[in-house]
Amino acid sequence: MAVTEAERRAMTHALALAARGPRGPNPQVGAVILSAAGEVIAEGWHRGAGTPHAEVDALSKLPPDAARGATAVVTLEPCNHTGRTGPCALALIDAGVSRVVYALDDPGAVSGGGAERLRTAGVEVESGEQADAATALITDWLTAQRLGRPHVTVKWAQSLDGRAAAADGTSQWITGPEARGDVHRRRAVADAIVVGTGTVLADDPALTARDGDALFEHQPVPVVIGSRETPADAALRRHPHEPLFFDTRDLTAVLADLHARGIQTVLVEGGPTLASAFIAAGLADRVLAYLAPVLLGGDRLALTDIGVASIVEARRLTIDEWVPLGADLLAIAHPARTEEGEL
């Protein structure tokens, strides 16, 4: 059976509900319960770890047996495991739901498999409705689940001719206030901000997320990679969070450590050397390139060696969005897929 127009509208609403939930170690999920006539009779969303999942939240608003024969529209495949809460697939079965429409399969080795459990119980299941929108909503969580590491965004600012600094090394400010404000807003939703020791020694960054002179409520954990000593009076040592230091070039090991600490999103701001290292290692899930309408010349490029020896080895990107920011332009992109489907 094809997805109905009422179910499509319900999925759009479920995605909006999901966005109300907090970002964190659990995915943002929304659910809408439709009557047999296609009318909304309940809705819910996940409010964070330890709270009822979206499906259970929606079902809790109905009297006993009111969901019998109903359709549940959910942004993520109903889970199939018992953690702090029970399996959502079982809750839907026990409630008598006859049909489930969801957007994305749950990639978790333990939590996945809810769709099969529903089908085994005689529940009709449709998947893939508005999958792209659902993916965009929980990209960070999906990366952590599929790859066992945080989702990595590599950011840099550059002149129109691709330079990150002038010949004397000065780089403040290539971009204007609108672009810098955008960076701080993105810091305020990242779990960690990563720089190299070179950036710490050259710029003495605070690595905080600021709204003017005030700090945003959420602050990313500062992470420094490199072997050089960070001065005792460095600005980042006054950060609200204790900085993490990694004396290694093994970026995969760094990300594994951050993942084990519950860090799910990483913003790399660490200058050309570190940005290039993440890209060369294939660890950049997203790129933020702030382009300023200035020319600097010289050899201080925004990126250095990224392992490209010929044009056929070029690391192709897919542009997701162009964002005007005052006189500057932000390119948001992700690695393009090859014909084999790999990044």
As annotated, the active-site residues are 55
Rg (CA), the chain: 23
47 Cβ contact partners less than 8 Å away, ≥ 6 residues apart: 21, 22, 57
From residue 278, give the alpha-carbon distance in Å to each of 48, 161, 250, 267, 331: 31, 22, 10, 11, 18
111 Cβ contact partners less than 8 Å away, ≥ 6 residues apart: 79, 80, 81, 83
Biggest CA–CA distance in the chain, Å, is: 73
Give SS3 for 326. Answer: coil
Site of tokens 């499906």: 55
Cα(first)–Cα(last) distance of the chain, in Å?
Answer: 34
109: tokens are: 């080795």
Task: Give the span between the Cα atoms of 251 and 223, in whole angstroms.
Answer: 12
164 Cβ contact partners less than 8 Å away, ≥ 6 residues apart: 156, 157, 158, 171, 174, 271, 272, 300, 301, 302
From residue 73, give the alpha-carbon distance in Å to each of 30, 109, 260, 277: 8, 23, 32, 42
